[in-house]
A and B are shown apart, each in its own frame.
Chain A
Amino acid sequence: MTIRVDRMTSSNVAIRIRGISHQFGEEGDARHVRALRDTSLDVARGELLCLIGPSGCGKSTLLNVIGGLMTPTAGAVEVAGKRVAGPMPRDIAFVFQENALFPWNTVFENVNLGMVFQGVPRAEREARAQRALEAVGLKDFAQHYPGQLSGGMRQRAALARALSLETGILLMDEPFGALDEQTRMILGEDLSVLLARADKTIVFVTHSLGEATFLADRVAVFSARPGTIKKIIKVDEPHPRKPDFVTSAKFTAIRNELYALLHDEIRKTVAETSAEPPP
């Protein structure tokens, strides 16, 4: 299923981002940081959009703004026709990088608790939880505690929790960032398969060029801080993406383009951070 992004109408825009700027602290303050600069973007319904950029370029900040966890200093985000003014648990679910599962609950209890918070009636919760756990391949580990699971399995559980909320939008903040390369690869492939079946809009923050190229329908490349979108690259390849896509010429070309765009921004970020006086 290819997303016709060139014909975006208001009916198939899931997230409308307009003029987002954000700064931390006051002007003149020692800890003043301009995280985002005038960022605008439309995210189509059902697409997987990756945000990629150097450290500190504001991609996580933008994700938090989209999800209503942060109020931007300027600009607005519109989701499902409403302006985002706080968390919207019926429409938006998060998957964080790590440690977001409650360690005193089993995997099943964690998934169940998300639905309790959202307000899903008791009768539906069990079925939804089972479906979500099955979808991520954790059916046999439902009674395990997060401390007993590997990093990859914990992130599967976090994903199951987000899926069980049956929201239209999924925001993922470097969900595989704390995992080793091999686990990332497996999880990335599984995610692609899973999302081909589901009809979700996903905004996915990552550091990894390969991951962005493999998973995304579009990749938004950020500049160095204060971040703004430098360029949006389209990845025209149907989902679910096969493992051999990674070795194809198309993949290499896109990845190379991302590399070229990012390299200077990364260098700029490193130069800036080493020039900054220690706190």
Chain B
Amino acid sequence: MQSSKTLVTWVGLFVFIGIGGISFLAIHVSNLSANFSGSEGYRLIARFENVGGLKVRSPVTIAGVRIGRVEKIDFDKNRYQAVVEMRINSTYDTLPEGSSASIFTAGLLGEQYIGLEPGGGDEFMQEGDEFEVTQSALVLEEIIGQFLFSKADEVKSQ
């Protein structure tokens, strides 16, 4: 058996690498860091007719840059609409009132995200404000359905 000093050093190194591994997984691989930074910033609300495949923690972008995340998706049982709460990073606090929120899809089958479009209001949006103009997610089946119906009409009219 080796002398106890080198042995203890090796064990210390092992435990160090092990803890390093767990922290690497937590910080680099998982969303732990995003979770921590997600608690700051201000909250905005948008109502959609249909949120499609939007999920909690989906990104919120403006001009393609991520400025926040979806925090909560709820169903308003009186207005039959989806209520999406998003948390916007406090650095980006100059969203004018009258901005619009739309749900887009990244790529053909990619994840869905919220894209914001700045409006023309004089004031900036505050904690708890609601988007007046929203555009729901495109549901592929609906588009295909509309396309088929319009084709059928064309054929009939000929």
- The finding on whether chains A and B are genuine partners in a shared complex, rather than unrelated, reads no
